[in-house]
A = this chain, B = another copy of it.
Amino acid sequence: MATLYDVCKKTGFSTATISRVLNRKDVVTEKTRQIVLDAVKELNYRPKPAARMLAGQKTDTLGVIFPEIDNGFYVQVLRGIDNAAKEAGLHLLVSFYHDKAGLKETLLSLALDGRSDAIVMINIDLSDRQIKKLVNDTVPVVMIGHSAETSATFDVVEIDNTNGAASAVTHLLNKGIENILLLTGPADNFDSIQRLNGAKLAFEDAGKDFSTVTIIESNFTYEGGMEQMTDHLESGKSLPEAIFAFNDRMALGALEVLKAKGYTVPGDLAMIGFDDTESALYAGLTSVQVPMMDIGYEAANLAIRRIDAQKGNPSTLTITTSLSVRNST
């Protein structure tokens, strides 16, 4: 375990000079730099993060906070973040949060205690004000997705829900399908609201009447999709020409019920999901594809840039989706 002092002894330079060489800050002679670097290599010297943190207030660490939800594509986001972090030579301190108390503690620990240089958080159900108060400007925060409130507080990376949903609906309209059933998420869910709006816009853009559309609220789960589909069928209402579920899980749940009832897709009706998960791929479900890795990557880069960049106005990055067309439409 060579320390900075060992390098000093070997080279005859002071700790200051060694540190300068290693941190690419001030100026040092090219010759000096070489001597130091050689010694560092020879001694196999590695600066201790703990000491660096204490003295320099730099952790070389990016904090990441996820909701404790069983959500397959969070790994994708995480990988994107990891890629960006690796490029910047940062480590990742990851935390799932179970409840608000835990989240607050995590935020304090990552920010105030100085465990990280920046934080990326996803869909947190804490208000911007609360977060800001906790973090207290100690480190920059980037949000992936956000709540209904306009986020003028932090940098945000979000999915283009509106256009994503619009593209799905347009895809149907182009096929001459207008009798559509929308299986949405909770009414107060921001993603759901935006997607609903996108669907509406697609109708308007096409000059069609959106009021013919049936809207059924569900909860983004497989079971929710099954239930709503079952209810709809049992209520004796007619089958729509197409169902656009606001995520794949609900789509697959509905699909399951339809199949059980003997309906075929896309024979009897078309079906579109959102997220384009692996399951959608395997089920041949047309779905709005969301580039999760990109989102993570962009969010992390935004955060990393904020670390030494002067404060600027919060920016919002909207990631575009694309439609993965498969057998279900």
- A residues near B, CB below 8 A? 1, 46-51, 53-54, 59, 61, 64, 68, 70-72, 74-76, 78-79, 82, 86, 91-96, 98, 102, 108-109, 112-115, 222, 252, 256, 278-279, 281-283
Among A50, A59, A91, A113, which residue has the most Cβ atoms of chain B within 10 A?
A50
| 9 interchain pairs, CB-CB under 8 A | A48-B113, A72-B72, A72-B75, A72-B278, A91-B109, A222-B282, A256-B282, A279-B282, A282-B283
Q: Are B114 and A102 in contact (CB under 8 A)?
A: no
Which of B1, B94, B278 contacts A279 (CB under 8 A)?
B278
- A sample of 16 more A-B contacts (CB under 8 A), given A49-B115, A50-B59, A72-B278, is A48-B54, A49-B53, A50-B54, A68-B79, A72-B75, A78-B94, A78-B96, A86-B98, A91-B95, A91-B109, A91-B115, A92-B95, A278-B279, A279-B279, A279-B283, A282-B282
Residues of B within 8 Å of A109, CB to CB, are: 49, 91
Counting every copy of the chain, the complex holds: 2
Chain B residues near A53: list those with CB within 8 A.
Answer: 49-50, 53-54
A71 nearest CB neighbor, chain B only: B75
**A76 nearest in chain B by CB position:** B70
Residues of B within 8 A of A112 (CB): 1, 46
Q: Which of chain B's residues have a CB closer than 8 A to the CB of A75?
A: 70-72, 74-75, 78
> What residues of chain B lie closer than 8 Å to A59, measured between beta carbons?
50
The docked-state distance in angstroms from the alpha carbon of A4 to that of B54 is 14
Taking A82-B95, A282-B256, A282-B283 as contacts, is the C-beta distance between A113 and B72 under 8 angstroms?
A: no
Tell me which residues across on chain B come within 8 A of A278, comparing CB atoms: 72, 278-279
Contact B252 A282 (CB under 8 A): yes
Residues of B contacting A222 in the complex (Cβ-Cβ under 8 angstroms): 281-282
Q: How far is the CA of A68 from the CA of B95 in the complex (A)?
A: 19
CB distance from A82 to the nearest CB of B (A): 5
Contact across chains for B92 and A94 when beta carbons are under 8 A apart: yes
CB closest residue in chain B, given A283? B282
Complexed CA–CA distance, A109 and B50 (Å): 12
> Among B48, B72, B113, B282, which residue has its beta carbon within 8 angstroms of that of A114?
B48
Q: A235: shortest Cβ distance to chain B, in Å?
A: 25
Complex CA distance for A113 and B59, rounded to whole angstroms = 13
- Chain B residues with CB under 8 A of A78: 75, 94, 96
**Interface contact A86-B114, CB-CB below 8 Å:** no
Q: Which residue of B lies closest to A96 (CB)?
A: B82
